[in-house]
Amino acid sequence: MKAILITGGAGFIGSHVVRMFVKKYPRTKIINYDKLTYAGNLSNLKDIENRRNYVFVKGDVCDYKKVMATLKEYGVDGIIHFAAESHVDRSIKDPFAFAKTNVIGTLTLLQAAKEFWGCTLANAAQSEKKHRFYHISTDEVYGSLKFDKRLFKESDRYEPHSPYSASKASSDHFVRAYHDTFGLPVVLTNCSNNYGPYQFPEKLIPLMINNIENNRPLPVYGKGINVRDWLYVEDHARAIDLVFHKGTVGETYNIGGLNEWRNIDIVNLLIKIVDKHLGRKPGTSKKLITYVADRAGHDLRYAIDSSKLRKELGWKPETSFPEGIEKTVAWYLENKEWVENITKGAYKRYYKDMYSNRK
C-alpha cells in the first residue's frame, strides 16, 4: 500500500503498531492521525519520529473535513482505526465522551473512507483489492463470562455492560453495516487486555507498578477475583499486521493470550517483581494492598478463543507471561521520566477524583 492512516497512533497499542509498520514497510507512508487527548503522547514514538515514511497529523476522528483532507493529501489506501476513549472507569464518569469518539468518530471515519474510495456494493470486489479499513475492537463487547471453561468466540452475541464496551459494540456494528451496505472492505479484531511499555497508568498493570514503586496504596476493586486474559502488546501488534495484510474482508478475528489471571494474583506478582527490582525484602509491598469499592457493572471474567486467527493466519503469542511482565516492569522502572511526565497535573486530579472516596 502507498499510505496507511493509523488513528490513535500516539496511544498505547497504536504507538507499537505505528513503530512496527514504519520500520517494516519503509516504502509505505504511515500517517499517525491523533487528537492527543490525555492518553495520546508523542514521546511514545520518539525513536521513529524522524523516519521519512512517518508523518503525524493532529486531528479528531469526529472532524469529517480534517479526516477527508488527510485521506486526500496522502492518497490513503488503508486505515487502521485505534482512536478511542479506552478506559472503563472514565466511561462510567462520562459516557458521552465515549459515544462521541468511539461511535461518532468511527462513523465519521467510515463515511469519509467510503466516499474517498468510492465504495459501493457493485464495485466491492474491485475495492477489496485496493483498500482496507481495519477496526480495532475489544473482547469487552461480548460481556462477561462465568468462572468456567468457556471462552469468547467470534460468533458470540454482543452483550456489553459498561458505557465503554457499549460504545465499542456500537462502533463494531457500524463497521459491519458499512461493509454490508456500501461494500467497504473492512476487517475487525476483538482483543483481550493488553500490557506492555507505554500503557497509560490508569490501567491495572502500569498503575500498580507505579504505586508499588512509590509506596502508595494498591486499590484492588471488590474482592480482586475478576479475571482478565492478558496479551503482550507486541503480540497484538503482530496479529494486527497479519490481519491487515492477510485477513479476509468482512471477517472478525478474536485475539487473546490464553493467559487468564485474577486481578489479586496479578497485583501479588507485580509486588514480587517490583520489590525484587528495587532490592526490597520480598513481599515488603504486600501491606499496600487496599481493597476498595467495586467498579459498577464490573465484568467478572474475559477470556478469548483465538483459534480462528491461529488456524487461518498462523498467529500465536510469542511472549510468555513471565517474560512479558518482567520486561514491562523493567521498562516502567527504567523510564521514570516518561512516567513522571504523564503522572503530574491532570493525572493527579484524575487519581484523586477516581480513588479518594472509593472506600
**For residues 220 and 325, which CB has a smaller minimum distance to ligand TYD in the complex?**
220
Q: Minimum CB separation from ligand NAD for residue 299, in Å? A: 13
- Which residues, in sequence order, are bridge partners of residue 11? none
Closest CA to 132 of 82, 175, 180, 79: 79
What are the backbone dihedrals phi and psi of residue 292, each rounded to the nearest 5 degrees, phi first? -125, 170
Residue of the chain from 204, 212, 231, 303 that contacts ligand TYD (CB under 6 A): 204
x/- string (CB under 6 A) for ligand TYD, residues 250-269?
A: -------------x------
The set of cell numbers assigned to 311 is 488456524
**Cβ(164)–Cβ(140) under 8 Å?**
yes
Active-site pick, 34, 60, 85, 140: 140
For the bound state, the minimum distance from the C-beta of residue 239 to ligand NAD, rounded and expressed in Å, comes to: 11
Asked if residues 36 and 42 have their Cβ atoms less than 8 Å apart, the reply is yes
The C-alpha cell at 354 is 477516581
- Other CB atoms within 10 A of residue 317 CB: 22
Between 183 and 238, whose beta carbon lies closer to ligand NAD? Answer: 238
Of 203, 280, 286, 327, the residue at the interface with ligand TYD (CB under 6 A) is 203
Residues contributing to the site for ligand NAD (CB under 6 A): 7-8, 10-14, 34-37, 39-40, 60-62, 82-86, 101, 105, 136, 138, 168, 191, 193-194, 200
Q: DSSP class of residue 35?
A: -
Half-sphere exposure of 146 (CA within 13 A, CB side): 2
34 binds, among ligand NAD, ligand TYD, none (CB under 5 to 8 A by kind): ligand NAD
Question: Quick check: is 326 catalytic?
Answer: no
Using the minimum distance from each CB to ligand TYD, give the nearer residue, 171 or 263. 263
Footprint on residues 9-48 left by ligand TYD (CB under 6 A): none
Q: Which does 185 bind (CB under 5 to 8 A by kind): ligand TYD, ligand NAD, none?
A: none
Q: Which of 33, 54, 164, 302 is catalytic?
A: 164
82: CB partners within 8 A, 6+ apart: 6, 7, 8, 9, 11, 13, 14, 17, 136
C-alpha dihedral, 323 to 328 to 333 to 336, nearest 10°:
160
Q: Which residue is nearest to ligand NAD (CB)?
A: 11
Q: Which of 62, 110, 141, 220 binds ligand TYD (CB under 6 A)?
A: 220
134 in Cβ contact with 244 (< 8 Å) = yes
CB nearer ligand NAD, residue 57 or residue 313: 57
Active site residue 164: yes
Query: What angle in degrees, to the nearest 10, is found between the helix axes of 233-246 and 12-24?
Result: 60
| Interacting partner of 105 out of ligand NAD, ligand TYD, none (Cβ under 5 to 8 A depending on kind) | ligand NAD
Rounded distance between C-alpha atoms, residue 8 and residue 10, angstroms: 5
Interaction of residue 226 with ligand TYD, rule CB under 6 A: yes
Catalytic residues: 139-140, 164
Interface positions with ligand TYD (CB under 6 A): 88, 193, 203-204, 207, 219-221, 226, 228, 263, 295
